[in-house]
A and B are shown apart, each in its own frame.
Chain A
Amino acid sequence: MDLSAINPILLLASLMVAATPILLAAIGELVVERAGVLNLGVEGMMITGAVCGFIVATATGSPWLGFLGAALGGALLSLLFGLLTQFLLSNQVATGLALTLFGLGLSALMGQSYLGIRAPAFPDIHIPLLGDIPVVGPIVFQHDPMVYVGLGIVAGVWWFLNRTRGGLILRAVGENHDAAHALGYHVRRTRMLAITFGGACAGLGGAYLSLVRVPQWTEGMTAGAGWIALAIVVFASWKPGRLVLGAYLFGGVTVLQLNLQAAGVAVPVEYLSMSPYLATIAVLVIMSTGRAPGSLGRIFHAAR
């Protein structure tokens, strides 16, 4: 074992990359949950996004179009969830699970002929000046563009939720859908929009795995990332700022265990690979005090 082989700068730099797919999926789910909808299908939408993004990117040779396709794929799948929960008033927990099972099957079917191919390269950008700062530069300012797009989306969501009228309506719908309905807000429309946004973000997160992080398509490649994203929303107490902290914390654990594996620590690989999931459980235990949106998971049926 040689722990000195682990370069702390590289470790911190890869932390941001490891956290990005979770961050993207989690910020989408955060908006969905703030609107009062619990979509447990994040894993299914992520993996569908991963395969859609991969197919589009290899067909067109453009990772950007791939990400666009992934967002569309995730959003389309989430519309199915929206149709069932908002219009056919089905149980959100069960429907979310169905979405995950369906998405896993669908993605495996779609991705059959794409196994073993490499995704088109998605080069890192080197931000001038900022990227040249010693230590901080390589850690923060020398990544692929999606890392910054993800952070941009988080900032945008924060601004939308806390500084705009639309955000206020969305939060009202999530806190008490009957009151929001009585005030004349469109509960269903708001929620459908939120669900679609959540699906698109989950799709982007999945595509980040298949286009940047791995970058290949394999069946079941999300390996619980969607569920971890759900956990991080709880950890963040439904606040965008803390979501970044949660995602990076998780990214840190993932990267550290990968580095320990590479450094040949005397613990078998199988035990090390448990650590992200155990860390998520620990985080849930410590941070289960946050208050969930009032109408989270409840069915809205306007009697009049």
Chain B
Amino acid sequence: MKAIKLAASEGRAVHPAGEGALVVRGLTVSYGEAPAVFSADLTVPEGSMTAIVGPNGAGKSTLLKAALGVTPRLSGQAHFFGEPLGQVRRRVAYVPQRASVDWDFPTRVLDVVLMGLWRDLGLLRPVRARHRQAALDALARVGMADLSDRQIGQLSGGQQQRVFLARSLAQGADLYLLDEPFAGVDAATERAIIDVLKALRDEGRTVVAVHHDLSTVADYFDRVALMNVRVITEGPVADAFTREALQEAYGGRLATVQIDQLRLGAT
């Protein structure tokens, strides 16, 4: 409820923060002179599956990172389940871009997944059989159970992505924020990942993914946020994924022919 007061004090009319798994208001991030994300609003209802779509450099990843406090924000707020992130970290899992880490790091698949249990393990609590089992279960969900001892430098791109997803699954969170989970992965991995994400949604959990492939938006997601530095439109795919919104987000870069091939919402 604090969110309402904060937002109200800025003269903004907002939905109650308690309504969504993630509610972002007026988020602005700048790395240099031009803002990477400008005054972005986003409302992600619980139990939904949302794609954040937009051209390169639209600030999609930055929006996620800034909401999570991974990247500093100039202004704006993000509330998770109606609370600031610090109160509900256990309920939120972040899956960074696969390419953002050095896969030459000296560790095994299982160790990476165990990182997801940090909030349970803390500094010094020993890794017990049940922790190891939780990590192995998470790996099994993404079809990687037999690779738990593999050195991470030996994984393919698709396997790396599955390990990252398993690490977030091990957290047992209610909200999953994924940064380009399908970038550079093979078709089998894409299928496996989307199956896991849909299963999470069916369990009542919430999924938000930065997504690049316009042709799969309608198949994979039930909500979409189109952005280009600002959030242009957000809502159920049927309402928000329109020709006009796409043209606004992508400018002239998206040929009409391409748009015609998409399964769009009503226009």
Whether chain B is bound by chain A comes out as no
Q: Which residues of A contact B (CB under 8 A)?
A: none
